[in-house]
Amino acid sequence: MERRKVNPRRERINVQRQMVKLLKAGVLLRFDRTLDETLQHIVDTARLVIGARYAALAVLDENGEFSQFVYSGMKEEEAKKIGEFPKGRGLLNLIIKEGKVIRLRDLTKHPKAFGFPPNHPVMKTFLGVPIVVNGKIFGRLYLTEKIGSREFTKQDEKLALLLAAQAAATIERAILTEQANRTERLELLNELIRRLSRLIDERSVLETVTEGIQAALPFAEVATVLYRPNESLSLLCFPEGSRLGLQLRRPCLKVHRTPFVVCMQEKKPLILPEMNVEKAKTSFERWLARRGFRSLIAVPVAAGEQILGVIFAAATQPDAFNRDDLTFLQTISDHVAVALTNARLLQELREKERVRGLLLTKVVTAQEEERRRISHELHDQIGQLLTALLIQLQLLERDLSEPSLRERLKMLKQLAEEISSHLHHIAWELRPPALDELGLMAALEKVTEEWSKRFNIPCEFVANGTINGEVQPEMTIGVFRIVQEALTNIAKHAKASHARVSIYQEDSELVVTVEDNGVGFKASDILKHPDENKRLGILGMMERAAMLSGKLTIDSKPGKGTKVQVRIPITRGWYRRLSTNLKSR
């Protein structure tokens, strides 16, 4: 059977006719691409449909200058050798000024031809058409070096105009889509920044930013990593269900094994438009490629000269990330750096406060133990000696018959009894036995009774309801000392005719209140007083409350009395001891 010979020219005409049909059917009218992808697709399609060796699309700014130049048919290495792209002068400018198609057999002979730079390929045949979007010239599409013919034909011109019309509609839709996307991203960014500004711990910052970026880049897998002093990256945070988080089992990666070296060392962003196993330069890049990821974007998180970490996203599509994605991530990274710095400073402050609290607790515990020891010695040893002295004085009084000596002996007995009373009060102030023997409730009732007798000020003690919880010994002594200090301040400064001490439970807090009807004062003035001795008592009560994870408030106004209240969280195990005391009253 004889084979039919194929006519190359007829074959090209048939292919071109098929392309015309595709154009008329709207081959360019796809609205799922970004503007950059749309422009590249336009020049690639134009070069293929019209049969040109080269095609380009120049986008204009508000001043009519080139703001973007997209080309097809030339390798990237060749384009780099040429250097700068055209500026839009000479022949190319006519397409815009005259707003019409220009078709030339030899563009080098045109009077407006500006010439070619070094390393520029030879170009003679030329076809250029403007692209008009919304009544304004968006840019110009031009093709050079017609394949298989000496010049572009009238049919090519019609094809170019048809293609330019479809390109305009596609570009308009892409612009509108990108504007909508930018608006949506701006809203996401503002919400994310608002949330970051409220966070106070490192983990919450990482989780929040990862979730926010994932919402803005739903086509990618997002992760945030922290930089460690040993030049490793701790892979800390992935969104729930992330392929990265599920598949990556290593707790950390060495920086030199990742493509993020440029982020760490030069503080520059990174975009890998096309990854594959063969071309991978690092083990982590190879790991991503083997799991189907084809493009990667990463930005450093830096606070001044200090690198804190990296935000990165990987996508299964090649060239998935554009300039808008990069700008979005860079903007977020700046705010993440601030949030992480603040979280770390707060953590350092909390740690210092924790250590200070531990040291203060040790000091107070040592003081209380020393008070306990001195109180016991005063009560047991010196108290016993004074008791023995009184007994001997009583025996001596029976043996004396001379009135003058008996009178002097009586004075000595009174003095000894007074010393014993003062000694007992000092020992009780240092550490009331009821606190260790009967607990907080009995000790508070006893201290109000003793205080009322000593200063001749009526003081009411009220215990309301039952209390469910458990209090440690340090909490018991802490509450007691706060009440003791508050009563001392009333006696010294309040000029009160009545006082009241109450204790009750509200939810999971123990609430103790000491109030009086005295002259009152401005608490803010006392706390700001330059004389430290004037505010030492209030600061001491506040410190004790803070040591117990509680809060002390002072409500006082001149002439309106004073109310000191402390709220301390309690645990459930205290119920058996404290509840029994309350029910027995």
The residue assigned the tokens 């105009």 is: 161
Mean pLDDT of 42-65: 84
What is the pLDDT at residue 402? 77
Q: Is 255 helix (H, G, I), strand (E, B) or coil?
A: helix
Nearest-angstrom CA–CA distance, 133 and 139: 9
**343 and 208 in a common domain:** yes
Say which residue the tokens 């990482």 belong to: 206
Sign of CA dihedral 396, 398, 403, 408: positive
Among residues 463, 459, 512, the alpha carbon closest in space to that of 488 is found at 459
CB 554 within 8 Å of CB 563: yes
Tell me the pLDDT tens digit for each residue of 21-51.
555 544 555 555 778 888 888 888 888 888 8
Is 365 domain-assigned?
no
Beta strands in 492-550 (DSSP E): 499-506, 509-516
> 564 pLDDT exceeds 90?
yes
Give the structural domain span for 485. 434-583
Cα 97 to chain center, whole Å? 53
Q: In terms of Cα–Cα distance, which of 417, 434, 415, 416 is closest to 375?
A: 434
CA 150 to chain centre: 64
What average pLDDT does range 408-428 have in this prediction?
74
Residue-wise pLDDT tens digits, 299-344: 999 888 888 888 999 999 988 888 888 988 998 888 888 888 888 8
Rounded CA-CA distance 507/475 in Å is 18
pLDDT range class, residue 2, cuts 50, 70, 90: very low
Residue 510 located in a structural domain: yes
- Is there a contact between 295 and 317 (Cβ–Cβ < 8 Å)? yes
pLDDT of residue 298: 92
Residue 57 corresponds to which tokens in the numbers above?
């699309």
Same domain, residue pair 281 and 311:
yes
Rounded distance between C-alpha atoms, residue 275 and residue 291, angstroms: 11
pLDDT at residue 115, rounded to an integer = 57
Which of 38-42, 226-230, 450-454, 511-515 shows the lowest mean pLDDT across its residues?
Answer: 226-230
CA dihedral 214, 219, 221, 227 (to 10 degrees): -60
Token digits for 143? Answer: 């093709």
Mark whether 18 and 165 lie in a shared domain.
yes
- Closest C-alpha to 439, from 583, 570, 580, 585: 580
Domain match, 274 and 260 both: yes
268 shares its domain with 154:
no
Least confidently predicted of 26-40, 56-70, 471-485 = 26-40
Q: What is the CATH number of the domain that holds 257?
A: 3.30.450.40
Q: Could you tell me if 45 and 152 lie in one domain?
A: yes
Q: Are residues 266 and 310 in the same domain?
A: yes
Domain termination site, one of 176, 196, 227: 176
Domain boundary among 153, 176, 199: 176
**Minimal CA–CA distance to 193: which of 213, 177, 175?**
213
Which of these three, 155, 176, 197, is where a domain ends?
A: 176
Q: Which residues are paired to 571 by β-bridges?
A: 470
pLDDT value, residue 548: 81
Among 336-340, 465-469, 503-507, 527-531, which stretch is predicted with the lowest mean pLDDT? Answer: 465-469
Mean pLDDT, residues 556-564 taken together: 90
Higher pLDDT, 9 or 445: 445
Which residues, 6+ apart, have CB-to-CB distance to 494 below 8 Å? 516, 518, 519, 520, 561, 562
The reply to whether 379 falls in a domain is: no
pLDDT (tens digit per residue) in 490-504: 988 889 999 999 998
Whether 400 maps to a domain, the answer reads no
Residue 380 CB coordination number (10 Å)? 11
Model-wide pTM > 0.95:
no
Q: Residues 333, 479: one domain?
A: no
- Asked if residue 213 and residue 258 are part of one domain, the reply reads yes
Q: Are the C-beta atoms of 309 and 301 separated by less than 8 Å? A: yes
Q: What DSSP line would sit under 335-395, residue for residue?
A: HHHHHHHHHHHHHHHHHHHHHHHHHHHHHHHHHHHHHHHHHHIIIIIIHHHHHHHHHHHHH
pLDDT for residue 580: 46
Q: Are residues 97 and 242 in the same domain?
A: no
Burial of 532 (0-12, 13-18, 19+ CB in 10 A): exposed
Residue 85 belongs to some domain of the structure: yes
> Do 129 and 21 belong to one domain?
yes
Length of the chain: 585
Judge whether 21 lies within some domain. yes
467 versus 543: which is more confidently predicted? 543
- Does any domain span residue 425? no
Q: Is residue 360 part of a domain?
A: no
d(CA 273, CA 288) in angstroms, rounded, equals 13
Residue predicted with more confidence, 549 or 91: 549
* Domain co-membership, 191 together with 102: no
Q: How many domains does the chain have?
A: 3
Q: Report CA-CA distances (Å) from 3 to 182, 306, 419, 450.
A: 59, 74, 136, 125
Retrieve residue 283's tokens.
Answer: 């083990």
User: Which CATH number covers residue 559?
Assistant: 3.30.565.10
- At 343, list the tokens: 């979280």
**The pLDDT of residue 297 is above 90:** yes
